[in-house]
Amino acid sequence: MVYFLLTLTNELSALEMIAFVLAYFLSVCIAMTFHEFSHAFVATKMGDPTPRLQGRLTLNPFSHISLIGMLCFFIVGFGWAKPVEVNPLCFKKFRAGMAWVSISGIISNIILAFVFSGLFYFSLLLNSSNLFFFFLQYFLLFGFIVNVSLAIFNILPIYPLDGFNFIKSFLKYENKFVLFMERYGSLILLIVLITPLFDLFYNFVVIGIENLFFGFWGLFL
C-alpha cells in the first residue's frame, strides 16, 4: 500500500490522496469486521457463549481490529484482526460447529466481495469527476479486492488459517497432516508469503472471480 501510494504521489492531489487512503482504510475495516463477526455469530449459534461474553458479537470495528495488524495492511499489504476465541466443547455438534465457524469468515468475505463488485461495476456507468465520486469508486474497488484477498488467503489449508481449521474439523486429532501443520504451518505460511507462489495463485483466482462476478452483473445491462 505504501509503495502504491508513492507511485501515485505525482498523479493525485493532496485531497485525492486522503480520499484514496480513507477508502482503503474503510474497506479493510469492513472486511475484517465482518470476517471476525461471522466467526463470533456462528460460534454463538452453535452454542458457545465465549464470543458474546468477550464482546465479539458486534459489528463495532474497534472490537475486532488489531492496530498492529492494520498497520501491516498499510505497510506490506498483509495484516490481521483480533482472532475470535471459541470453546468447541460448548458446541451442540462438535465437528459441525468447528467446520461452520471456520468457514463462516470466508463466506462473509465472498458475499461482501460479490456485493462490492456489483456496486463498483454499476458505478463505472456513472460519469462524474468530483472528489466524493473518486472516493466512492476506490472504496468500492478496494471493498472487492480486500474481501476477495481475505477469502483467498484464509481458504489456504495452512495452520493457523481458516482453511486448515475447516479441514481439521473432519479429521482425527492424531492425523499426520494436522500434526505436521500445527508444528510447521507458521513456517510454511511465511514461505508462501515471501515467494511468488502465492502471488501467482492469487492473481489467477482474483482474475477468475472478477470475470465471474462482473459477468454476472453484466447480465442486467
Catalytic residues: 36
Distance between CA atoms of residues 72 and 74, nearest Å? 5
Task: Tell me the three state secondary structure of residue 65.
Answer: strand
Distance between CA atoms of residues 73 and 56, nearest Å? 21
Q: In a 10 Å sphere around its CB, with 0-12 CB exposed, 13-18 middle and 19+ buried, how is residue 16 labelled?
A: middle
Q: In whole angstroms, what separates CA 47 from the centre of its chain?
A: 25
- In contact, 44 and 52? CB cutoff 8 Å: yes
- In contact, 56 and 84? CB cutoff 8 Å: yes
| Cα–Cα nearest to 78, from 173, 219, 184, 199 | 199
Distance between CA atoms of residues 216 and 81, nearest Å? 31
Grid coordinates representing 39?
Answer: 466467526
Q: Where are the alpha helices (DSSP H) in 9-66?
A: 14-45, 50-53
Q: What is the DSSP letter of 175?
A: -
